[in-house]
Structure 1
Amino acid sequence: MASLLFWAAALLALIFASNLVSRYRTKQSPFYLWWSISFFLYVIAFGMEALTVSSNWNSVFEYQLYIIGSAGLVGAMSVGTTYLAFPKSKVAVGYAVYFVLVEVLLAIFAFVSPPVLHGSWAALNAGKNAIVGTTQIFYLLLAAVGGPIVIIGALWSWWKTRRYYNLLIALGALVPSSAGTLASQGIATAIFPVMNIIGLVLIFLGYVYSRSSSQGRVSQAQHQARGA
């Protein structure tokens, strides 16, 4: 059952990624590109979880792909968030360069220094005792930096604007993260894949509504300007 849920999450992520790619091709807005990359990395992470949840992490290669996908999806998501907040700033460009560099280094060291797989599936899924050394440093540079940018950025935007879509993004990031922490301790493991799906949907809706709301405000301002 858990495997089917992870496959469903991977399929859903692929559909959402395709939608965001279409939006990027139409609008040419960089954040759509980075959010698309994030959701494609979701596909990789969920796919590896689907392949292993019934048999534990027996394949080092699958775990290496999972490391790259799970850390990268957070990083790419935070780059998109930065582009949305600072669309014409060098801050977003600089952070995007940082992400690409660290993600490439993570991928290299994940294969140069293969993880040692021992422990439960949930514990390994959370990176416990497997992601070590230089690989762990680059993993944390993506996940530990990207995660707060997404969550704090969304909460700060909500505080400033009271736009509900920001709460969807923050909640979407918090739900699977909290579920993963609990699952790594052997708590609520059965609902872990469901929480991932819920988080995925919340984040996607937050992204879609955020841009729609922004475009609505711009159109309203332009209409008022013409009326004046």
Structure 2
Amino acid sequence: MKQSQIDQLKNQLKQILDQNINVINQDGFLDKNQIPSGSKVYNIEASLMFVDIRSSTVLTDSIGRKNMVKIYKMFTSLCKKAINDYNGSILQIVGDGILCGFTNDSTGNSGQRAVDAALTIHTYIAESMNSLLNKDWKIGCGIGIRTGHVYVTRLMTDNGSEVAYPSDITNYASKFCSKAKEEQIILDSKTYEHLDQHHKDFCENFTTDLSNTYIIKEATWEIK
């Protein structure tokens, strides 16, 4: 590697380091096409939720990649419906993981709606999706939710650009998701504060490196 390569990269990174970031407060998530590249960053108060299929690699090895495509399509479709049911937005889909966001609006607090959507996803999987599948195809997912402020910005890539959501609430929602087992929801204290008493009664304390974390086990709606 040549010193000139190092110097060139260093100059590019210094331009980013010296850039003034313009933070704009925003009530809700914008359409991705509305988010410009450059120094603008949107600050949004929201509840972020990560949903991820458990043991998908093992499942792919068992049923094959073509059949796994069907599983992903079904899973994404039911997640989209559940998230739309509670006025949320799908922000990113990466592999078998989905990041979505909820903001406070006339229909209720973001945390309450995120948890309701999570309960609905677990219920849709158990009652609508898995009821159609062979035993070896059945899936489950873990869900993590954290509430707070998230920055939204556009980052340049080889394929143009991608919208990113740099924030500790994004990181913790992802961490919670990875710790959650099938039919479980792990949430932080701010999300817990948004819940009505009926939902709080189902929450148990859960130990993580973030204080005041809660878990809802066997998190599905009762079917009447």
TM-score, normalised via structure 1 length: 0.26
Higher relative contact order (CA 8 A, sep 6+): 2
TM-score, normalised via structure 2 length: 0.27
Higher strand share: 2
